[in-house]
Amino acid sequence: MFALNNKISLRQVQALLFLEIFGFGVTALPRRTAEHAAQDGWIGVIIAVVAAVLLVILITFIIKANIGQTFYDYTKRLFGRFLASFFCLLLSARFILLAAFYLRLFAEITQSIMLPTTPYIVIFIAVLALAAYGASKGIEARGRLAELLIIIVLLPLIFVFGISSREIDFSNLLPMMSASPSQIGKAGYYAFFSFGGMETLLLISPFLARKKGVAKSAIGTIAVMGGFMVIITAVTIARFGAQNVVAHNWPVLKMMDTISLPGSIIDRQGALIMTFWIISAYAIINAALFFSSLLLKDVAKKGKHIHYILLCVPIIAIIANIPNNIDQVYSWFNLYNKTFGITTMVGLPVLIFIVQLIRRGRDRVAKQDVNS
Amino acid sequence: MRNKTLIVKFLTLALLFVALLAFSWDRTEMENRAFVITIGVDKGEELPYKVTMSILDAEGFEDGEDARVLRDAEGECPASAMGAVGATISRSIYFGHTKAIILGAELLKNADALSKTVDVLSKNNDINIRTVVMATDKTAAEIMNAKPETQQMLGMYLSGFYSKSNTNTAALVVKADLESLVADFRLSGTSIIPKVTIDKDDEIKIGGVALIKNHALTGFLTPDDMAGYLWMRENAVGLQLTSDSATIKIERSKPKISFVEYSGTLLCYAKIEAVAGLEAGKNNPQVVEEFQRKIERDITETFRIFQEVYISDGLELREILRKHYPKLYDKYGGDWEKTFAHIRFVTKVDLEIRH
Amino acid sequence: MKIYNKLDDNINYFDTIFDNCNDIVRRKVPIGASLQRFAYIVYIDGLVDRQLIEDRILTQTMASAQRLPEQFFNEPLSLLETLKEGGLTTADLKEEKDLEAAAKAILTGDVAVFVDGADTAIIVSAKGFPNRGVNEASIEVVVQGSNEAFSDVMRINTALLRKRVRDTKLKVKQSIVGRRTQTNIALCYLDDVVRPAVLEEVEKRLANIDIDGILDAGALEELIEEDFSSPFPQCQITERPDKAASGILEGRIAILVDNSPTAILVPCTMNSLFQASEDYSQGWEIMSFVRILRFAAAFFALALPGLYIAITTFHPNMLPTVLAFKMAAARENIPLPAVMEVVMMEFAFELLREAGLRLPRPIGSSIGIIGGIIVGEAAVQAGIVSPIVVIVVALTGIASFAIPNYSLVSGFRLSKFLIIGLSAVLGILGFWMALIIILIHLASLKSFGLPYLFPFAAGEINGFSDFKDTIFRAPIIFMKKRPIYANPEQCDRQVVNHLGNWHKEE
């Protein structure tokens, strides 16, 4: 009546993408990059942003060619049924693992900054229940919610960082370009993992009404978000100095916590940044649940979406419970990113892209043959 | 069908809710928290550490009376001592509103103990890393036991003293907080902590600093020793200077520190550009000249004390070298103590006095 | 069932169906000079205008018809015709050939006239039932602007709308809902401005209702809502004809229910529930300020108690130090945990609110205030609750009164307890979780296909022009487009030819 059912607008796609990637991407980013390139870490982020933009160009090409079709549909057309199912399971596993890691990370951070004695499992259940509830409401509600949440996330963030600029010593970024290209490259490589979650774009095609502007808005989002990430990385490194950034597990959160707000309405905003934090956690875990269950449903070809969501919830909770401590979480996460993560995040889209290109070339040739 | 899902939904929600309500792990009522305002750490008598805490007495606070309760305990490490303090009161210790940390002289002298204390305090998530840290030449317990007439809660007094809105004093004193201390310890082990002490009338006095080198106290500097420090760290604004013929107040000051290589060692050239307002007396070139000489003397003297008496880079020249002269840093930054001992220091003050 | 030719059969029929209905007046009257022929008049006492029946029907049939020539009485149909054309001197009458339909008409307050030998009845509309007339608005009170309110009688309500919108395009489409109550429902809309799809949907949903009775607009609202399990209203209920008229001008549909002094406006968004009719009768600057205040009030009404619990029992480090110390001091010697304190006071406050409604009006207003003060004060004195909780709960209550729509407040009042519960368990984490749950719910709601959170979410459907009337109320000249409700072809609301500065010369 007013808008199409089960479709979302490009603005909503942008908001979803931003929320899914940004929150978790940025919290550890300054540390990850400073570990490898010290005060030049932010240059690494720029490299990562360029890589991410290239990847998103690839992905938007794929979804534009397959607008209105599910991931399973178009991979089936390109690769056949067996490989399509395999890809679906692969991506679904990717999302489940991603959600599990992020869930564990969220629980760790929550425990460390605000609920020291609450057991993990309670936080897991609470967040997963929330995410599952959101996922069960379908793509339209997700899109609309994202439009609201992004305001709740961004306004305080901009405010806090605006205020923090008074206290920042930008000389901490000096000397510039002292890190070697390989160090910066390495920082960029690790920073690139912060864009994990971008591959949800591959699955967005059935929910789009038309292809006009898809590429522009997706690339724009990634670029703007990349800009934010570069700024936040630079500001955080400038605030603490490269050596100290490395010592904090979550430098961005630490920074938001310790900025003194004017007017002394709030003494410490440690719990307030929870706003930013829980919304980010909700967004990515919700997306992972939504899409992984959707993929499973496509493969199984029966049942209701909600059943698959409920199936994924305990799996995620169990996986999230496996690591023993935060160091293990991070080392496993790195390992995961370098192997499985990079294959699904970069390998899969590139593969689909190449096959799509070949297909298109062949179709064109065939069409010319018919015409002549 | 619809009814069935609704019932399932409702039951799940209700169960979840009951389960959640039955347990609540981190909930503590306000009145069950013991708000620690000041933490003092000393070397213990029997065990290595002694922690003294000044805790809010809420009832006293409301009545406007003495609202402090002092508790102390000793422990094998700072954390266990802090835990032991908790055992002396019925409430749970809460550091969310801790305003100041006072470190005793004996503790400061022990590098291991000091590092450990700073580490424990900074790792505690309740304690704000912006909490003011003070050193004392007595024991922290003595300072906290003093009952000054002006302000009963020492921590509140100290944090008020350092708060930004307090323009009279903020600029003129050196400030250290947990964060800067941790950062300094991580970088070089050299740091400066402002000193607090009590006089005979039990009144709190803030002035001078404790100089930390290699994670341990090397000595206390008097305010006179530190006169040049403010000029080098660009917070001399608000400083009042008096000579025979005039009184001026500094309105703007900016140090410009540069390095050049000079016959096998470094030459540090500090140029200070300052603007001052005339408070009393006359303004003429002689007066300007006189003040410039005085400031230059102060800076040189401070530098001399750092370099010759303590051989300790309290001015953090190494960081400046690292940031702005990476090549020189590569060459000289390695054995900084040796380099610092041989730095040649030249300063020039460019003062402008306005009416 | 057709009307019988013989009058006695008809009389029999009515005697059977109206057995033991003593309020129904049935009278067989002789007409004509010869008194050979009879007419039969049926109506419900109290629902009809007695005066009109005596003057226009009885006098005419009994007296005037006597002057008619004899041959009319031999032909029943022409007798009927004559009565209709010249006998009954009233404009609103129609013929009816169906007996059951005639009975229904009688039940709605019409008068049925049967003539011997004719298989047609004349239905004279002579409704004159008791009503309160046009009252003053009592719930949605405004300082400036009309204070007329809808009445209990639908006809008066449609007149109130017609009075405000004098357009031939204003359609009043009536239907009947309720197997037993036979309640009249009227859809009022502007034919060209309304979205046809929405109108179709409303009609579909109304047709779907099969219930024994609708006694109030509220019941109807629940039956046509999209998500009945939501505590938030998905239709806007108003008692103000000017609000309904402005809704109609925006392209919305006003549903009037007989015997109910309210109109249902559909579709509706949460944003429109924050708008009061006064917003447009005062300056945009002050009303923008008031709007911000209302949204803030909504947040307070929803979140303040939860926030209080989360902060004081989990994260007192967020409070300024001195305030934290004061609050801790205030809570000394209070036996209840903060959660129980808040829940108890909330409960007491809701109780006062409910009791205030039931009490006779002169006492009602004072019990609210005095009860609140006395109970709060006594509880503090007795050391059961801390004064800060009283402030929090009172502020929550006051905030809830600042929201113009009563049913929206109910939604907030219920959701408040979800926030309190989760905050008590997980602190700020729980607080945000509860808030997100509520947001997810709101985001998933739709009112007749329109996202409930429009234009805060999905604002681009209408090119974001609806933002001009949300947290801020833009000057009226800026609102050139109609809101989303209107048919896109009719989206122009006004043409601004000249903008202020009348005295200025070029």
Round to whole Å and give the CA distance between C130 and B98: 73
- CB-neighbour burial class of residue C163 (10 A; exposed 0-12, middle 13-18, buried 19+): exposed
Bridge-based pairing of strands C253-257 and C263-266 is antiparallel
Cβ contact, residue pair C440, A145, below 8 Å: yes
Q: Spell out which residues of chain B touch residue C385, defining contact as CB-CB under 8 Å.
A: none
Cβ contact, residue pair B25, A118, below 8 Å: yes
Contact criterion met (CB below 8 Å) for A215 and A64? yes
Residue A282 is nearest to which of C195, C197, C436, comparing CB atoms? C436
- CB-neighbour burial class of residue B113 (10 A; exposed 0-12, middle 13-18, buried 19+): buried
Q: Which residue of A has its CA nearest to C199?
A: A1
* pLDDT score of A308: 93
Round to whole Å and give the CA distance between A24 and A281: 7
CA separation (Å) from C386 to B34, B194, C303, C329, C349? 18, 41, 19, 9, 15
- Name the band, by pLDDT with cuts 50, 70 and 90, for residue A265: low
Lowest mean pLDDT among A74-83, A324-333, C277-286, C458-467: C458-467
Lowest mean pLDDT among A334-338, B308-312, C266-270: B308-312
- Name the band, by pLDDT with cuts 50, 70 and 90, for residue B5: confident
* pLDDT score of C503: 79
Give me the residue label for tokens 């160090």.
A183
> What mean pLDDT comes out for the span A313-326?
91
- CB-neighbour burial class of residue C367 (10 A; exposed 0-12, middle 13-18, buried 19+): middle
**Who wins on pLDDT, A33 or B244?**
A33
Q: Mention every residue, 6+ apart, whose C-beta is less than 8 A from residue A229.
A: A22, A25, A26, A29, A45, A48, A49, A191, A194
- CB-neighbour burial class of residue A244 (10 A; exposed 0-12, middle 13-18, buried 19+): buried
Q: Spell out which residues of chain A touch residue C437, defining contact as CB-CB under 8 Å.
A: 130, 133
Q: Spell out which residues of chain A touch residue B96, defining contact as CB-CB under 8 Å.
A: 268
Any C CB within 8 A of A257 CB: no
Cβ contact, residue pair C429, A122, below 8 Å: no
In C216-320, which residue ranges form alpha helices assigned H by DSSP?
Answer: 217-224, 241-249, 270-273, 284-313
pLDDT tens by residue, A2-59:
777 888 989 999 999 999 998 888 888 899 899 888 888 889 999 999 999 999 999 9
- CB-neighbour burial class of residue A7 (10 A; exposed 0-12, middle 13-18, buried 19+): middle
> Is pLDDT above 80 for C363?
no
- Name the band, by pLDDT with cuts 50, 70 and 90, for residue B148: low
Amino acid identity of A151? I
Mean pLDDT of chain A: 87
What are the tokens at B318? 């190494």
C236-238: strand order across its sheet: C170-177, C183-190, C253-257, C263-266, C236-238
pLDDT tens by residue, C88-102:
667 778 888 888 888
Neighbours of A174 (CB within 10 A): 17
CA distance A269 to chain B (A): 11
Neighbours of B207 (CB within 10 A): 15
Query: Shortest CA distance to A18 belongs to which of A257, A233, A228?
Result: A228
* pLDDT score of A325: 87
Amino acid identity of A319? I
- Name the band, by pLDDT with cuts 50, 70 and 90, for residue C131: confident
* pLDDT score of A242: 84
CA distance B268 to chain A (A): 18
Amino acid identity of C259? N
> Is pLDDT above 80 for C385?
yes
Q: Chains with ≥3 Cβ pairs under 8 A against C? A: A, B
> Is pLDDT above 70 for B35?
yes
Round to whole Å and give the CA distance between B27 and C422: 12
CA distance C195 to chain A (A): 8
CA distance A196 to chain B (A): 29
In C359-484, which residue ranges form alpha helices assigned H by DSSP?
Answer: 361-381, 387-401, 406-444
Any B CB within 8 A of C316 CB: yes
Render the burial of C399-433: b for 16+ CB within 10 Å, e for the rest: bbebbbbbbbbebbbebbbbbbbbbbbbbbbbbbb
> Is pLDDT above 70 for A177?
yes
Residue B130 is nearest to which of A126, A243, A260, comparing CB atoms? A260
Three-class secondary structure of residue B13 per DSSP: helix
Cβ contact, residue pair B16, A244, below 8 Å: no
Q: Which of A323-337, B299-313, C119-133, C458-472 has maximum average pLDDT?
A: A323-337
Q: Spell out which residues of chain A touch residue C317, defining contact as CB-CB under 8 Å.
A: 267-268, 270-271
Lowest mean pLDDT among B155-164, C72-81, C380-389, C464-473: C72-81
pLDDT tens by residue, A188-198:
999 998 888 88
Query: Shortest CA distance to A207 belongs to which of A277, A141, A254, A255?
Result: A141
- Name the band, by pLDDT with cuts 50, 70 and 90, for residue B171: very low
What are the tokens at A32? 């990850």
Amino acid identity of B6? L
Q: Which residue of B has its CA nearest to A249?
A: B123
Percent of chain A with pLDDT over 90: 39
Q: Which of B183-192, B239-248, C194-203 has maximum average pLDDT?
A: C194-203
> Is pLDDT above 70 for A270?
no
Percent of chain A with pLDDT over 70: 96
Amino acid identity of B165? S
Round to whole Å and give the CA distance between B170 and B174: 8
> Is pLDDT above 60 for B170?
no
Lowest mean pLDDT among A259-273, B325-339, C459-473: A259-273
> Is pLDDT above 80 for B233?
no
pLDDT tens by residue, B98-145:
888 999 988 898 888 999 999 999 888 888 888 889 999 888 888 888
What pTM was estimated for this model as a whole? 0.90
Query: Shortest CA distance to A54 belongs to which of A232, A188, A203?
Result: A188
Q: Which residue of A has its CA nearest to B125?
A: A113
Round to whole Å and give the CA distance between B353 and B346: 23
DSSP letters along B269-291, please?
EEEEEEEEEEEEE---HHHHHHH
> Is pLDDT above 50 for B80?
yes
Cβ contact, residue pair A148, C436, below 8 Å: no
Q: Which residue of A has its CA nearest to B122?
A: A248
* pLDDT score of C455: 87
**Who wins on pLDDT, C147 or A271?**
C147
Percent of chain C with pLDDT over 90: 29
Cis before A206? omega within 30: no
Domain boundaries defined on chain C: 7-125, 154-268, 282-450
Cβ contact, residue pair C429, A149, below 8 Å: no
> What mean pLDDT comes out for the span C23-44?
80
- Backbone φ, ψ for residue C481 (5° rounding): -95, 150
- Name the band, by pLDDT with cuts 50, 70 and 90, for residue C303: very high
Domains, chain A, with CATH or none: 10-363 (1.20.1740.10)
Q: How many residues does chain A have?
A: 372
Task: State the Cα torsion C27-C32-C35-C40 to the nearest 10°.
Answer: -20
Neighbours of C86 (CB within 10 A): 12
Interface test with A, best of B9, B28, B125 (most A CBs within 10 A): B125
pLDDT tens by residue, B270-299:
888 888 888 887 778 888 888 888 888 888
- Name the band, by pLDDT with cuts 50, 70 and 90, for residue C431: very high
Q: Spell out which residues of chain C touch residue B156, defining contact as CB-CB under 8 Å.
A: 321
Cβ contact, residue pair A130, C437, below 8 Å: yes
Round to whole Å and give the CA distance between A54 and B273: 49
Query: Shortest CA distance to C100 belongs to which of C6, C18, C215?
Result: C18
* pLDDT score of C440: 94
Any C CB within 8 A of B58 CB: yes
Any B CB within 8 A of C331 CB: yes
Report the run of H or E that residue A71 belongs to, with start and end.
helix A71-79
Any C CB within 8 A of B18 CB: no
- Name the band, by pLDDT with cuts 50, 70 and 90, for residue C196: very high
Q: How many residues does chain B have?
A: 355
Task: State the Cα torsion C103-C107-C111-C116 to the nearest 10°.
Answer: 20
Any B CB within 8 A of A114 CB: yes
* pLDDT score of B152: 62
Query: Shortest CA distance to A148 belongs to which of A15, A38, A264?
Result: A15
- Name the band, by pLDDT with cuts 50, 70 and 90, for residue C64: low
> Is pLDDT above 70 for B19?
no
B344-354: strand order across its sheet: B240-242, B246-262, B265-281, B344-354
Q: How far is CA C274 from the centre of its chain?
A: 16
Amino acid identity of C109? G
Lowest mean pLDDT among A127-131, C272-276, C487-491: C487-491
CA geometry: angle B329, B330, B334, nearest 5 deg: 85
Lowest mean pLDDT among B131-135, C157-161, C329-333: C329-333
> Is pLDDT above 70 for B84?
yes
For chain B, how big is the Rg over CA atoms in Å? 26
Q: Which residue of A has its CA nearest to B329?
A: A175
CA separation (Å) from B175 to B159, B166, C440? 11, 13, 47
Q: Which of B54-58, B158-162, C269-273 has maximum average pLDDT?
A: C269-273
* pLDDT score of B1: 47
DSSP letters along B304-355, please?
HIIIIIS---TT-HHHHHHHH-HHHHHHHSTTHHHHHHH-EEEEEEEEEEE-
